[in-house]
Structure 1
Amino acid sequence: MTVLIGFVPTRVGEAALAAGLAEAAARGDDVVILNSPRRGATVDPDLVDEGVEATLLDAASAVGVSATVDHTDHGADIVEAFESAIERTGARLVVIGMRRRSPVGKLMMGSDAQRLLLSLDVPILAVKPAR
């Protein structure tokens, strides 16, 4: 089975990575780390480079987990990127990180995490970084 981890190079992404690797190691699952750039973006600060990718794969290897990094473009809709990755990998679980936001901030700006929680048809583990 596979655990799909949504990753961006932030504290939120690090929290998702740690939780996803722990879950995969406990169950003997493989991991796909989804680091999906916006389509057409020439510069995306959330896109990991080869050095960070190597660090992610080393972290997985250190806990005995086989991992790959998926850089599939997500275009305008992150939900479609996750749905496509779930279909390709047969993921049994999605792990995402969540930022702390005020209720007003969520109302005004929406939330990719909220959209994923409401839209995906597989179990989702949502984690927050430690304060």
Structure 2
Amino acid sequence: MQNIVVGYIPTPQGVAALEAAVNLARLTGGRVTVVNTGHNGNYADPAFATAQDMDTIDLQLANAEIPHEVRQPTEGRSAADEILVVAGEVGADLIVIGVRRRSPVGKLVTGSTAQQILLDAECAVLAVKASDA
């Protein structure tokens, strides 16, 4: 596994996805590309990580001596589209995403970033849940 793309948002699910990607990169000698964007590139969206968060991730990966890149695209695409575009650009072997439990009604009414990535990715996708602890 050479190229791992991780969709990161500043939530327990995003942290779990990042941790899984880092652990896999350590095991395989892979490269990690972290992708964070707000809803349709919106800087004010809570999913858009702060510069401090992104700097911390960059430092964490550098200290772990993991080859990496941290991206925060603002082209106005959905988060799923951004992750899929980046995966194509870097030739991803794996996309890692965090998932959360949703009610059956929530699954019906709203679209799902995770679902789009799972269905449209041209590589393997690892979906991880945050620990309940």
Question: Same-fold call, TM > 0.5?
Answer: yes
Deviation at 1:25, TM superposition (A): 1.1
Counterpart of 2:50?
A: 49
Which amino acid in the other structure matches residue 29 of structure 1? G
**Structure 2, unaligned stretches of length 5 or more?**
none
Cα distance in 2, alignment partners of residues 54 and 40 from structure 1: 19
Checking the alignment, whether the CA contact within 8 Å between 2:41 and 2:73 is kept in structure 1 is: no
Does residue 6 (structure 1) correspond to residue 4 (structure 2)? The answer is no
Which amino acid in 1 is paired with 2:117? L
The alignment yields a C-alpha RMSD, in angstroms, of 1.7
| 1:64-75 correspondence runs (5 A) | 64-73=65-74, 75=76
The aligned length equals 131
Q: CA deviation at 1:107?
A: 1.3
Gap regions ≥5 residues in structure 1: none
Deviations, residues 24-75 of structure 1 (Å, cap 9, x unaligned): 1111011110002334635122222221112112222343312221111252
Matched AA of 1:85: V
What is the letter of the counterpart of residue 116 of structure 1?
Answer: I
Letter in 2 for 1:93: L
The 5 A counterparts of 1:8-23 are 8-23=9-24
Q: Distance in 1 between matches of 2:37 and 2:10?
A: 12
Structure 2 CA distance for partners of 1:53 and 1:109, relative to 1, 3 Å? same
Q: Percent identity?
A: 33
2: CA distance between counterparts of 1:12 and 1:91? 21
